[in-house]
Amino acid sequence: MRSSGSLLVDNIGELVTNAPGAEGDPLGLRRDAALLIEDGEVAWIGPARYAPAADRRIDADGAAVLPGFVDSHAHLVFAGDRAAEFAARMSGEPYTGGGIRTTVGATRAASDDELRATVGRLRGEAMRQGTTTIEIKSGYGLTVADETRSLRIAAEFTEDTTFLGAHVVPAEYADRPDDYVGLVCGPMLAAAAPYARWIDVFCERGAFDVDHARAILACGQAVGLGVRVHANQLGPGPGVQLGVELGAASVDHCTHLSDADVDALAGSATVATLLPGAEFSTRSPYPDARRLLDAGVTVALATDCNPGSSYTSSMPFCIALAVREMRMTPAEAVWAATAGGAAALRRTDVGRLARGARADLIILDAPSHLHLAYRPGVPLIRQVLHNGVPQCRP
C-alpha cells in the first residue's frame, strides 16, 4: 500500500540519504533536514527551514532518519525449532550444515497456514526493527510441491523471492545426487520459476559441488532468473568465482576467501553479502570485511534469518556485529545494510533517500546513525515508514 496525499517528515537532525557526498561521507549526510513524501515516493529533500507545506507532518524531533534496511538474504519459510542444536554448538559441537534436513522434515509436515503464519511473524518482526525490503528464499521443502508452495507463500510478503531447491540433497536422494540435480533443473524449476525472481545454490562441501552448482544456476538463468550463490561459508571453495563467472548479483557468506576470490569480486559487479549473524550463532570466524572493502568490493549486510544457524531478524544487530567483529566503520555498516543490500538485489528504488526513491525510511530514537553500533541491543527504531505509510511502532 502506498501513501496518499503528501507527508512531511520535518525537524530531522541527521538524514542519511546514501547519495554521493563529500569524500569520506558514504552516507550523504544532511543536517537539519526535511523530507516530503507524495504517492509513496520521496518528492523533495532539503533544509528544514525551506520545507514545503504538506497534508500531514511527522516531527522527527531532531532524531536521525535513514533509508529502511534492505535484508537481501533470509530463509523465512520453515517450520520447527532448532534451539537444541544451538545449545549443542554453544557446548562445543561444530556447525556442519547438517541440521538443514531437520527443518526440511518439519517444513514438509507443516500446513500452508502454519508456514504463512511463520513468515508473517518474522516479516513483522523485521519490519519493526527497520527492515522495509526483504528477500525470502525457499529451500526447506526440496520436493516439487513443497518448493513451489514455499515460493508461493513467500511471494505474498515480498517481490524478491529466491528458488533454493539446491539447498542440500534431501535424504531420499542421498545416494543419487545426479538424479536430484536433474529434478531441480527440470520439474522443480518449471513449477517454482513463476513465483521466483532469483535462483540460488549452496555451493559447499556436503551440499553441491561446482559442476552441479553451475548446471543448476545455468538452468535458472535460461528461464530468466537472476543468480545468487551461497559460497565459501564452511571453507575455501569455488563458489565465489563461480558466482562472478555467471554474473551473480550476490555471493553470500564469503567467510573463507583467497586472494583470487577477492580480486574476482573487486573486478566484477557481484556484491559480497556478509552474514555476521551466522558466525555469531555458530561460533565461526567472521568474514574479513575490511579486506573486501579495501580491495574495492561492494559489500552488503544481511541477517540470514533461519532456524538453524542465524535465528535473528535484526539488521541493527548485524550492523553492530559488523562494526565490532568485522572491522567496518559505522558508516560502512549502515551503507551495507541499506544501499549495499539494494545493490545485492539490483534494486535502485530502495536503500537510498532521493527524489523518486520509494519512501521507505526509519526514524531512530537517537540523534545519529552511529548509535546503531554504539548502543547494541537497544531498541532504537522509533518509527518505520514503508511506501510512505507509517507502520506499527515497536
Q: Which residues are annotated as a binding site?
A: 73, 75, 82, 140, 167, 230, 233, 304, 306, 308-309
Q: Report the binding-site residues for Fe(3+).
A: 73, 75, 230, 304
Q: Is 11 helix (H, G, I), strand (E, B) or coil?
A: strand
Q: Report the binding-site residues for N-formimidoyl-L-glutamate.
A: 140, 306, 308
Q: Report the binding-site residues for Zn(2+).
A: 73, 75, 230, 304
- In DSSP terms, 35 is beta-bridged to 9, 45
Across 104-249, where does the E strand assignment appear? 131-137, 160-166, 198-203, 226-231
The residues, any chain, with a CB within 8 Å of residue 242's CB and separated by 6 or more, are 203, 210, 213, 214, 217, 229, 231
The residues, any chain, with a CB within 8 Å of residue 258's CB and separated by 6 or more, are 236
- C-alpha to C-alpha distance for 304 and 317, rounded to whole angstroms: 12
How many CA atoms are closer than 13 Å to the CA of 330, on its beta-carbon side? 11
- In DSSP terms, 283 is beta-bridged to none
Closest CA to 200 of 153, 233, 171: 233
Q: Report the binding-site residues for 4-imidazolone-5-propanoate.
A: 82, 140, 167, 233, 309
